[in-house]
Structure 1
Amino acid sequence: MNVAQLQKSIKEYAASIGIDKIGFTTAAPFLELKNRLRRQQELGYQSGFEESDIEKRTEPVLLLDRAESILSIAIAYPSKMEGSPKGKRGERRGIFCRASWGMDYHHVLREKLQLLEEYISEWLPDAKMRSMVDTGELVDRAVAQRAGIGWSAKNCSIITPEFGSYVYLGEMITNIPFEPDIPMEDQCGDCTLCLDACPTGALIQGGQLNAQRCIAFLTQSKKPIPEEFRAKIGNRVYGCDTCQTVCPKNKGKYNLHQPSFEPEPELTKPLLVPMLNLSNREFKETYGHMSGSWRGKNPIQRNAILALAHFKDESSVPVLAELLVKDPRPVIRGTIAWALGEIGSSEGKAAIERAILQEEDPEVRMEMEKVLETNQRKC
Structure 2
Amino acid sequence: MAYETLKQEIIEYSKSIGVDKIGFAPANEFAELKSKLKLQEDSGFKSGFEKGSIAERTEPARLMSEAQSIIAIAIAYPSRLKNAPKSVKGDRRGLFCRASWGKDYHHVLREKLELLGTFIKEKVEGFDYKPMVDTGELSDRAVAERAGIGFSGKNCAIITPEFGSYVYLGEMITNIPFPSDQPVDDGCGECTKCIDNCPTGALVEGGRLNAQKCIAFLTQTKGFLDDEYRGIIGNQLYGFDTCQVVCPKNKHVDFHLHAELEPDPELVKPKLIPLLSMSNREFKEKFGDMAGSWRGKKPIQRNAIIALAHYKEISAVADLIRVMQKDPRPVIRGTAAWALGKIGTREAFDAIKVAREIELDEEVIIEMEKGLNFQYVSN
Q: CA deviation at 1:370?
A: 2.5
Q: What SS is found at the alignment partner of 1:356?
A: helix
Aligned-pair distance for 1:52?
4.2
The answer on whether the counterparts of 1:68 and 1:174 sit within 8 Å (CA) in structure 2 is yes
User: Over the residues paired in the alignment, what is the CA RMSD in angstroms?
Assistant: 0.9
CA deviations on 1:40-83 (whole Å, 9 max, x unpaired) are 00011000000240000000000111211000000011001111
Residue equivalent to 1:93: 93
Aligned AA for 1:188?
C
Match of 1:245 in 2: 245
In the TM superposition, what whole-angstrom CA distance separates every residue of 1:313-334 from its partner, at most 9, and x where no partner exists?
0110110011100000000011
Counterpart residue identity of residue 82, structure 1 = K
Match of 1:319 in 2: 319
Alignment of 1:1-379 (within 5 A): 1-375=1-375
Task: Read off the aligned partner of 2:155 and give its amino acid letter.
Answer: N
Deviations 1:113-137 (A, max 9, x none): 0000000000112011000000000
Aligned letter for 2:136? G
1:29 partner amino acid: E
Shift of 1:111: 0.3
Q: Deviations over 1:335-357 (max 9, x none)?
A: 11211121111111111001111
1:374, CA displacement in angstroms?
A: 4.4
For 1:18 and 1:366, the matched residues in 2 are separated by: 52
- For the residue of structure 1 that corresponds to 2:357, the secondary structure is coil
User: In 1, distance between residues paired with 2:334 and 2:260?
Assistant: 37
Aligned amino acid, residue 203 of structure 1: L
Is this contact kept in 2: 1:68–1:176, CA < 8 A?
A: yes
- The separation in 2 between residues aligned to 1:257 and 1:72, in whole angstroms, is 19
Report the residue type matching 1:235 in the other structure.
N
Unaligned runs of 5+ in 1: none
SS at match of 1:124: coil
Amino acid at match of 1:328: P
CA distance in 1, matches of 2:26, 2:126: 19
* Contact in 1 for aligned 2:272/2:308 (Cα 8 Å): yes
Per-residue Cα deviation, 1:260-302 (whole angstroms, up to 9, x for no partner): 1100001110000011100000000000000100000000000
Percent of aligned pairs with the same amino acid: 60
Deviations 1:127-171, CA, capped at 9 Å, x for gaps: 110000000000000000010000000000000010000000000
Q: Distance in 1 between matches of 2:175 and 2:214?
A: 37
- Cα 1:333/1:96, change in 2 over 3 Å: same
User: Partners in 1 of 2:163 and 2:225 — Cα distance?
Assistant: 33
Partners in 2 of 1:222 and 1:85 — Cα distance?
A: 28
Q: Is the 8 A contact 2:24 2:181 kept in 1?
A: yes
8 Å Cα contact 1:80/1:256 also seen in 2 = no
CA distance in 1, matches of 2:222, 2:39: 25
TM-score of the aligned structures, taking structure 2 as reference length: 0.98
Q: Deviations over 1:159-203 (max 9, x none)?
A: 001000000000000010001100011000111110011111110
Where does structure 2 lack aligned partners over 5 or more consecutive residues?
A: none
CA contact (8 A) 1:149 1:184 kept: yes
Kept in 1: contact 2:103–2:289 (CA 8 A): yes
Question: Does the CA contact (< 8 Å) of 1:198 and 1:242 recur in 2?
Answer: yes
- Structure 2: distance between partners of 1:55 and 1:336: 43
Q: CA–CA distance in 2 between the matches of 1:366 and 1:284?
A: 31
Alpha-carbon distance in structure 1 between the residues aligned to 2:299 and 2:346 = 27
Q: Which amino acid aligns with 1:270?
A: P
| Equivalent residues of 2:144, 2:150 under 8 A apart | yes
8 Å Cα contact 2:341-2:373 kept in structure 1:
no
DSSP-derived class of the 2:122 partner = helix
Between the aligned partners of 2:253 and 2:146, the Cα distance in structure 1 is 23
Cα contact 1:132–1:172 (8 A) shared by 2: yes
Amino acid at match of 1:372: L
Contact 2:342-2:374 within 8 A present in 1 as well: no
| TM-superposition CA deviations, 1:248-268 (whole Å, max 9, x none) | 100111011111110000111
2:344–2:374 CA contact under 8 A, matched in 1: no
Rounded to whole Å, the distance in 2 between the matches of 1:305 and 1:352 is 15
Whether contact under 8 Å (1:58, 1:138) holds in the other structure is yes
CA distance in 2: counterparts of 1:337 and 1:211, whole angstroms: 28
| 2:169 alignment partner, SS class | strand
Compute the displacement of 1:375 (Å). 4.3
Aligned residue pairs total: 376
